[in-house]
Amino acid sequence: QEHPTSGWDRASMRRCWEFLDMTSRSFAAVIKELDGDLARTICMYYLILRGLDTIEDDMTIPDEKKQPILRQFHNLTVTPGWNFTENGPDEKDRNLLLEYDTVVEEVNRLPPQYKTVILDICQKMENGMADYAHKAATNGTVYLETIADYDLYCHYVAGLVGEGLTRIWSASGKEASFLCDQLELANSMGLLLQKTNIIRDFREDVEERRFFWPREIWAKYGFNEMKDMYEKGDIERATWIQSGMVLDALRHACDSLDYLRLLKNQSVFVFCAVPVSMAMATLSLCFMNPEMFQRNIKIRKAEAAQLIMRSTNTREVALIFREYARKIHHKAKPHDPNFLKISVMCCKIEQWC
Ligand code: PS7
Ligand code: MN
Ligand code: MN
Ligand code: MN
Ligand code: MN
Ligand code: MN
């Protein structure tokens, strides 16, 4: 890519673009296409949060050690020369933190109006993460109890990302200044993505003792632990829980379309639309799919390519949402306790346009 303003003349920024390719399978392409300064800014925003998340995810770091690092991350991220070498050897994005000083160097070159937003979001997210990590460490295992708890966790790790992006779009002048007042819609974009990730990653997360599915959705089906959903294989009851989780994620679909409708810059639109289109495809793939409890399922390459090509305007994305809502609707089973709610929800999404 040839972005004259994206720092290709500096070794440190070139290294950051490499980190982006190494750490993100889905976001790298849409970030590189962003207009002007936004490409480099969002690349750095992504790398900071990826670094933070890598520390959060590492279960080999003891709580006493993790707490101060998480809670100081917004300062460490602007401290020249700072690296983090203590991630467990299995953390997949460990390299980013080993050379984090390169990220710091480029963060400190960001236009101040963007840097302020990014560090503000970083500080809010790190405290949210640290609170949850501390609870999990002190109580052995904690489950999220209610859907409200689940929404709050997802707000910290993804809704806030959406808020920060939205404030950056407005500050850039490439989107309307009133967009940054729509933080509720921005939060919904993040929640749709995060909840889809949490549904799809069920098996991997449970095996790493990371429990995100709220008890309010699954405990009433008689399971005591999340791993019973695949070990004690009562696949039908597990499927009703899965449909409850998909139903909950679909609550954020119409808000996401409302958000996309407010965008006017094409590169920003594609950046926002592609991930949510993929999320809807992933939800429809997971729905009523028992394979999801066994392994990491993914939409096909060709289907993903189609979605990228089609995610160009709100009308088209609304049609994509409608297609996947229909697929889900058709797969729904009348004896599923969530059946009525799923039908109503799918109708709402199908009728959005
Ligand atoms: C700054 C682009 C578009 C208004 C690293 C993008 C992990 C689902 O851990 O890597 O592998 O299972 O597959 C992204 C709102 C956040 C929410 C969140 C920063 C959308 C750290 C992304 C991404 C707001 C916490 C990636 C939420 O999943 O997860 C930038 C608008 C990072 C967005 C995490 C998850 C993202 C995620 P894993 P993935
Ligand atoms: Mn991932
Ligand atoms: Mn995490
Ligand atoms: Mn993660
Ligand atoms: Mn995940
Ligand atoms: Mn993961």
The verdict on whether 150 is a catalytic residue reads no
**Dihedral over Cα of 7, 13, 17, 18: its sign:** positive
Residue 155 CB neighbours (<10 A): 20
The verdict on whether 251 is a catalytic residue reads no
Q: Report the interhelical angle of 63-76 vs 112-138 (nearest 10°).
A: 170
Report the separation in Å between the CA atom of 8 and the middle of ligand 3, taken as the mean of its atom positions: 30
Task: Single out the residue of 309, 318, 299, 206 nearest to residue 255, CA to CA.
Answer: 318
pLDDT in tens, the chain (353 residues): 445 457 888 999 999 999 999 999 889 999 999 999 999 999 999 999 999 999 999 989 999 999 999 999 999 999 999 999 988 887 788 999 999 999 999 999 999 999 999 999 999 999 999 999 999 888 877 789 999 999 999 999 999 999 999 999 999 999 999 999 999 999 999 999 999 999 999 999 999 889 999 999 999 999 999 999 998 778 999 999 999 999 999 999 999 999 999 999 999 999 999 999 999 999 999 999 999 999 999 999 999 999 999 999 999 999 999 999 999 999 999 999 999 999 999 999 999 98
CB 27 within 8 Å of CB 46: yes
Q: One of 156, 271, 287, 324 is an active-site residue; which one? A: 271
pLDDT of res. 140? 75
**Dihedral over Cα of 270, 246, 253, 186: its sign:** negative
Supply the pTM of this predicted model: 0.96
Residue 165 CA: which ligand 1 atom is closest? 4
Q: One of 200, 203, 237, 322 is an active-site residue; which one? A: 200
Residue 9 CB neighbours (<10 A): 8
Q: Whose CA is nearest to atom 29 of ligand 1?
A: 197
3-state secondary structure of 187: helix
Q: Whose CA is nearest to atom 4 of ligand 1?
A: 162
pLDDT of res. 2? 44
Which of the 8 DSSP states describes residue 83? -
The verdict on whether 211 is a catalytic residue reads no
Task: Single out the residue of 25, 23, 45, 182 nearest to residue 110, CA to CA.
Answer: 45
Rounded CA separation 196/224 (Å): 23
The two structure tokens encoding residue 71: 């809670």
Q: Which residues surround ligand 5, an ion (CB under 5 A)?
A: 197, 201
Q: Is 193 in the pocket of ligand 1 (CB under 6 A)?
A: yes
pLDDT of res. 126? 98
Report the separation in Å between the CA atom of 190 and the middle of ligand 3, taken as the mean of its atom positions: 14
Rounded CA separation 206/199 (Å): 11
The verdict on whether 156 is a catalytic residue reads no
Residue 271 CA: which ligand 1 atom is closest? 3
Which of the 8 DSSP states describes residue 61? S
Q: Whose CA is nearest to atom 2 of ligand 1?
A: 46
| Predicted confidence (pLDDT) per residue in 313-350, tens digit | 999 999 999 999 999 999 999 999 999 999 999 999 99
Task: Single out the residue of 180, 161, 158 nearest to residue 169, CA to CA.
Answer: 180
End-to-end Cα spacing for the chain: 35
Q: Whose CA is nearest to atom 39 of ligand 1?
A: 197
Residue 124 CA neighbour count, 13 Å, CB half: 18
Of 110, 154, 193, best ligand 1 pocket probe by most atoms within 8 Å of the beta carbon? 193
Q: Token pair 């949850």 is at which residue?
A: 132
Task: Single out the residue of 262, 195, 240, 269 nearest to residue 35, CA to CA.
Answer: 269
Report the separation in Å between the CA atom of 1 and the middle of ligand 6, taken as the mean of its atom positions: 28
Report the separation in Å between the CA atom of 159 and the middle of ligand 1, taken as the mean of its atom positions: 9
Q: One of 153, 156, 287, 324 is an active-site residue; which one? A: 153
